[in-house]
Amino acid sequence: MRSVVAGLICAASLLTIPQVWADEAAAPVEPALLVPLSGAPALRSAFALVRDDTTGEILMSKNGTTSVPIASISKLMTALVTLDAALDLAEPIEIADSDVRATAPNRSALAPGMILTRDDVLHLALMASDNRAAVALGRTYPGGMSAFVAAMNAKARALDMLGSHFAEPSGLSQENVSSAEDLARLIGAANAHDLIGRYSTDRSHTVTLRGRPVTFRSTNALVRAGDADITVQKTGFTRAAGQCLVMMLNGSARKFTVVLLDALGRYDPVLDAAALRRWLEPGYALPASLARLDAPARSTRKSARARHPAVPSRARDPRHMASNEIEQPRFN
């Protein structure tokens, strides 16, 4: 009798276990949000991530897996693809009418017919976030723009940036999307190139255009203020992406990657970065020239999820496809 009962129990178990698995498989999977460390600051940025690069530990994530437009942060991938191709940096590149059309109505000191070396074009794309420079890099890539964009997406896959997609090299397109977690991987790859680190953290760069020296400035207020702890960085802004800032920092004892996306005010990413550094390293203060900006965080924006629903891997929300987004000429 006991053997019959045991057999019935086993049979019932075998019948119910697959149903449990099926229910779990059918349940919607929510993105995992890491709980911040105790005392983490309130942030103005809707999407954020902090990684300890000494240990690889993610210390804080705020909507870190959600794919959203990233504006000129895209130019870090543009630089990676350019350098991976081992192209001649001394080769002259002429700014073309098509570069202007591709970035209209954005303005730039680079006019059609001006000639710069690929090295200078790369420098201006990274430091001054010049959109015509970024487009010129893609246009002069072997195989042209289509090959360049394919290389951008191939590099994203190689870096395991599965929530990212690139449509062009400047970041003006709202189809250029990524997540904070993916961008942390991108920053790590960019940091492996000394040239990207040096060019992105230069305060200014002067080039000769039609026989006259023209000086471009960094779009990052922290860099312009002389923050020497930043080893690689990029800013970005479009109406769809909001104010964005990504960077790798050399702290007093450890290295950190900071990703800040979709802030409302022009200086909000700088203030978020300062708040995070005080959290990570008590005693940090903004450079004196920026100290006046420090103020409590404002709660004047809609829910991040309401403004930017999750964008599936390699897919774009139609609401992120409006044209004529204008890159902010300066981030100050």
Could you give the C-alpha distances from 18 to 10, 14, 15, 21, 24, in angstroms and in order?
A: 13, 7, 7, 5, 10
Query: What pLDDT, on the 0 to 100 scale, is given for residue 251?
Result: 82
Out of 137-146, 160-169, 240-249, 312-321, least confident range = 312-321
Out of 73-87, 106-120, 182-196, 270-284, least confident range = 270-284
- Residue 193, pLDDT > 70, answer yes
How far apart are the C-alpha atoms of 70 and 258, rounded to whole Å? 14
In sequence order, what are the beta bridge partners of 235? 245
- Residue 130, pLDDT > 80, answer yes
Query: What pLDDT, on the 0 to 100 scale, is given for residue 218?
Result: 98
Q: If pLDDT is split at 50, 70 and 90, which confidence band does 85 have?
A: very high
Residue 331 lies in a domain: no
Query: What pLDDT, on the 0 to 100 scale, is given for residue 203?
Result: 97
Residue 96 lies in a domain: yes
Highest mean pLDDT among 21-30, 159-168, 284-293: 159-168
**If we measure between CA atoms, which residue out of 301, 299, 164, 327 comes closest to residue 240?**
327
Q: Compute the C-alpha angle 71/267/281, nearest 5°.
A: 105
Lookup: tokens for 121? 């074009």
Residue 294 lies in a domain: no
Q: How high does pLDDT run on average in the chain? A: 83
Domain count, the chain: 1
CATH of the domain at 207: 3.40.710.10
* Span 190-198, average pLDDT: 97
- Residue 20, pLDDT > 50, answer no
* Span 9-23, average pLDDT: 34
pTM: 0.80
Q: Does residue 70 contact residue 183 with C-beta atoms inside 8 Å?
A: yes
Q: If pLDDT is split at 50, 70 and 90, which confidence band does 211 have?
A: very high
Residue-wise pLDDT tens digits, 285-313: 888 889 888 755 554 454 444 455 444 43
Residue 327 lies in a domain: no
Query: Mind telling me the catalytic residues?
Result: 72, 75, 129
- Residue 39, pLDDT > 80, answer no
Query: If you write DSSP's letter for every residue of 18-61 in order, what string do you get?
Result: HHHHHHHHHSPPPPP-PPPPTTPPP-SSSEEEEEETTTTEEEEE
Residue 218 lies in a domain: yes
Query: What pLDDT, on the 0 to 100 scale, is given for residue 270?
Result: 95
Q: Compute the C-alpha angle 273/276/281, nearest 5°.
A: 120
- Residue 145, pLDDT > 90, answer yes
* Span 51-57, average pLDDT: 94
Higher confidence at residue 11 or residue 126? 126
> Can you give the residue range of the structural domain that contains 246?
47-288
Who's near 196: CB < 8 A, 6+ residues apart?
A: 76, 79, 80, 83, 126, 190, 232
Out of 35-39, 96-100, 258-262, 278-282, least confident range = 35-39
**If we measure between CA atoms, which residue out of 319, 316, 307, 331 comes closest to residue 63?**
307
Residue 317 lies in a domain: no
Higher confidence at residue 308 or residue 13? 308
Residue 313 lies in a domain: no
Count of other CB atoms within 10 angstroms of residue 97:
10
